[in-house]
Amino acid sequence: MNNLKVTFCLLITLVASIAHADLSDNVLVPKEEMNFAKNYLGEIRERNFEYVLSYIGPELLNQLSEEKLEEFAAYFPSGQLLSTALIGSQVKTINETWQGKFSFEYEFESGWAVASVVMKRTDNKISVIGFNVYRTEASQKELNKFELSGKSALHYLVLVLACIVPIFILVSLFYCIKTSIPKRKWLWALFILGGIGTISINWSTGAYTLKVLEYQLFGAGAIAASEYAPWVVTVGFPLGAVIFWIKRKSLIEQGKC
């Protein structure tokens, strides 16, 4: 199992991409809006509900009261705040209306919490259209770190295939290049190079998705949005490589003609 983990880590280096953990330094994160979201959550924690309600959009205003806000504020653990980190940033523009969601992880003396704010900007005015706070047992780094122990059979199956399929594809590609194929060898190479149809598994939760028409380069991949996010391992069926080996003998015979 240790050899499997080493092999998988090497494959991650080749086919996975991961963002820097400190997302607040990322040039793609809008700093003004991020700082607003961070300050807004701080005002909830400090129970400055007059300020909080002043930015609530009409979509949410009728659903909130000071009693409800008190419930949200109580989800923040007690004691001194030790650190705050941006762990998620999603922005988009729809019909000239900017929308963003920012998620933060809080470490307190007594525990951990994750909080997020959803907001929009219309006519250069920011309004909050949603927020959430919940406690966690540990840091998201710890909860989402890649581990082999305690996983399901599906976890291990996807992991093994994610190690084997790229090797099979690369070996097939090598033999394709060496094989005398009379026409359009480059099309065969492209066909072999990826997997058709994929299964992706969230390594932390075990949730999986199947996509019949998706093309996965090298037949496998692994990605995490940041050190705080769960790994998602994906593997595809090496259809091109399988068909190449089925037809290789006839391709060689055609090349001799």
Q: Is the pLDDT of residue 8 over 60?
A: no
Span 127-155, pLDDT tens digits:
999 999 999 999 999 999 999 998 999 99
Percent of the chain with pLDDT over 70: 90
* 23-140 CATH choice from 3.20.20.70, 3.30.1330.60, 3.40.50.300, 3.10.450.590: 3.10.450.590
Q: Where in the chain is the domain with CATH 3.10.450.590?
A: 23-140
Q: Is the pLDDT of residue 35 over 70?
A: yes
| pLDDT given at position 161 | 96
- Token pair recorded at residue 97: 């209306």
| pLDDT given at position 181 | 83
| pLDDT given at position 9 | 52
- The residues pairing with 91 across neighbouring beta strands, listed in sequence order, are 100
CA 36 to chain centre: 24
CA 107 to CA 79: how far, in whole Å?
10
Q: Is the pLDDT of residue 205 over 90?
A: yes
DSSP-assigned letters across all residues of 77-137: PSS-EEEEEEEEEEEEEETTEEEEEEEEEEEETTEEEEEEEEEEEETTEEEEEEEEEEEES
Give φ, ψ of 48 to 5 degrees: -90, 70
